[in-house]
Amino acid sequence: MCTGACSKFVAISLYPLAVVSIICNIILFFPDFSNKYASEDGENTPRLTEEVKYMGGLIGGGIMALIPAIHIHLTSADKCCANRCGMFLSIGFAALGMAGAVYSLIVASLGLSNGPTCLWSNAGIEQWGTPFTNSNGSYLGDKEMWKWCIEPKNVVEFNVGLFSTLLVTSILQLGLCGVQMVNGLFGCLCGTCGGDKE
């Protein structure tokens, strides 16, 4: 496959993944699709899951993937960056995308492992906190534990669904950026399909 065509495939695949990451992260700020919890959240009154505030999907899987996607897309365009220099630069941009994907992956993994912040009750005492922090993710396979969270409604399903989506998108972004690093190296050493040797 031509290095320019491969770059175009990688970039076009990165665009929707970045958009999905941004949307998931934004939605995570509104559990139960309400702004009540975001507005009530504070240092002494935690209402939002801590990992949501790290903005792994917005910064890592979103912005840090969109910037490389734009440059990588330009390496497939004639009379722009479809040359050895552009392909060389795409290696660095792909590395930036990989760093963003790793950040998003770590945040999503922590979000799944620690579970959501919620008003929960297990022994008749209701309190705000993260009831699954010390479960090492075992709560994911035990839906009976999900009933501990009283408010926001269905917050466990909400967080698991969105953090799982972020996890999958970041893994796909890692793979695509890895492919582009190899593709960029070949394009830099061998030139692009257009025959531009500059």
For residue range 113-136, what is the model confidence (pLDDT) as tens digits? Answer: 999 999 988 777 888 888 888 877
Question: Can you give the pTM of this predicted structure?
Answer: 0.87
Domain assignment present for residue 61? The answer is: yes
Choose among 198, 197, 185: nearest CA to 3: 185
Q: What is the mean pLDDT of the chain?
A: 86
Asked if residue 12 is part of any domain, the answer here is yes
Average pLDDT over residues 159-187: 92
Q: What domain count does the chain have?
A: 1
Angle CA(146)–CA(150)–CA(153) in degrees, nearest 5?
85
Q: Let me know if residue 197 belongs to a domain.
A: no
Task: Tell me, yes or no, whether 198 lies in a domain.
Answer: no
Sorted by sequence, the CB contacts under 8 Å of residue 167 that are 6+ apart come out as 105, 108, 109, 112
- The span from the CA of 152 to the CA of 111, in Å, is 16
